[in-house]
Amino acid sequence: MAIRTLDALGDVAGARVFLRADLNVPLRDGVIADDARIAAVVPTARELLDRGARLVVASHLGRPKGKVVDDLRLAPVGRALAELLGTAVTSVEEITPASLPDADVVLLENLRFDPREETNDVSFAGALAEYADAYVDDAFGAVHRAHASVAALPELMLASGRRAVAGSLVEREVEVLGRLLRDPARPFVAILGGAKVSDKLGVIASLTERVDVLVIGGAMAFTLITAEGGKVGSSLVEDDRIDDVKEALATARRRDVAVHLPVDVVAAPEIEATAPTEVVAADAVPEGLMGLDIGPATICAFTDALARAGSILWNGPMGVFELEPFARGTRAIAQACADSDAFTVVGGGDSLAAIRRDGLAGAFDHLSTGGGASLEFLEGRRLPGLAILEDDA
């Protein structure tokens, strides 16, 4: 799939360009915990400014569910953007102000304060379209959502003869992930972890069409181990997904995909840094204990599978990496990816945070800014925010 990029935008000198960015940064006590997503949009913003455009930037932040939530205002993000961009950014406290301030870079308020963003409302998109002569989508983390700022808005722009293209971040994501989708170096190993079985279950099933090896750790693994008849103590299990998981595992085996589940886990009675830990068999976790990281034998098996990979896709930590006693598995996998000659791609907010904390980010070929978006892309789905940018010329 080819998408229109900044090259197809034409002359934007003196024009106002609507830049949909993904400035959805993690916040801890109101402070930006990781500014990677802000930095990721700077090249596109810089290029547009250098080409003489004025920008109206918009993003969502967190999950305010259609209401104004003061803690999720974008002004602090605007200050960080100004710093990284080296240009003043004027934050307005409204999403659709009656008129825009006379400034080179205006940042609108959090799009999700208006319920019409998530319902892909055309009147909302129409109000946003008023501000701009052209549209650039650089919010890769949002392209899998049919939301107004990424779907209805570019559609309206195109319908009224204005241009709508992808920024350089979206261009690069599509290029790198597209390569993994079409022609991955083999064996292609996917390693999944984290806590969201329901979110990632569909991916497991469709990834079995593309990968040669599927490695599963993190909390996710316990639903699979339960489906296989194991006993997992009080580990996190999504009971209502067990049948789906059984089916996904059967599909994987039918397709000759090697599936690696943990054989041992680091278990503790509670998710606490000071809790006593022990290593137990992954399918025989005693009552009252929960598996919170992969164990040493599993680390060996997983790193062995990774060492022989041609391509690696990683999404989701192997354990509760936020607490040091359960961080070892995630760190070992990050290190194995870093040591590997394979083409390595990692996505997912928490996975990226873990890698950055351990100083291993530079060793990956690609850090995807979209967790859910990168997985859905690799399922081979047509994503609403990308479909509208497809080059049909």
Q: Which residues bind ligand ADP (CB under 6 A)?
A: 194-196, 218-219, 236, 291-292, 315-317, 319-320, 322, 348-351, 371
Q: Is 218 in the site for Mg ion (CB under 5 A)?
A: no
Q: Which CB sits closer to ligand ADP, 372 or 385? A: 372
Residue tagged active-site, from 54, 196, 241, 331: 196
Handedness of CA 348, 349, 355, 361 (dihedral sign): positive
Report the run of H or E that residue 347 belongs to, with start and end.
Answer: strand 343-347
Structure tokens at 260: 């690696």
Residue tagged active-site, from 4, 20, 37, 210: 37
51, HSE (Cβ side, Cα atoms, 13 Å): 17
**From the CB of 265, what's the least distance to ligand ADP, in Å?**
7
Pairwise CA distance, residues 359 & 341, whole Å: 18
Q: Which CB sits closer to ligand ADP, 81 or 290? A: 290
The binder of 236, among ligand ADP, Mg ion, none, by C-beta within 5 to 8 A per type, is ligand ADP
Task: Find the residue with minimal CB distance to Mg ion.
Answer: 350
**From the CB of 157, what's the least distance to Mg ion, in Å?**
32
What is the edge-to-edge ordering of all strands in the sheet holding 366-367?
258-260, 213-216, 188-192, 311-315, 343-347, 366-367
Secondary structure letter of residue 340 according to DSSP: -
Residue tagged active-site, from 167, 349, 370, 385: 349
**From the CB of 340, what's the least distance to ligand ADP, in Å?**
19
SS (H, E, C) 226-238: HHCCCEECCCCCC
Q: Is 349 in the site for Mg ion (CB under 5 A)?
A: yes
Let me know if 37 is a catalytic residue.
yes
Q: Which CB sits closer to ligand ADP, 311 or 351? A: 351
Contact 38, 139 (CB under 8 A): no
Pairwise CA distance, residues 319 & 317, whole Å: 6
Structure tokens at 81: 């953007």
**From the CB of 266, what's the least distance to ligand ADP, in Å?**
9
Q: Give the interface segment with Mg ion, choosing from 121-129, 164-172, 241-249, 350-358 (CB under 5 A).
A: 350-358
| Residues in binding contact with Mg ion, number by CB under 5 A | 2
Cα of first residue to Cα of last residue in the chain, in angstroms, is 12
**From the CB of 350, what's the least distance to Mg ion, in Å?**
4
Q: Which CB sits closer to ligand ADP, 91 or 223? A: 223
Amino acid at 338: A
Q: Is 319 in the site for Mg ion (CB under 5 A)?
A: no
Pairwise CA distance, residues 327 & 321, whole Å: 4
Active site residues: 37, 196, 349, 372
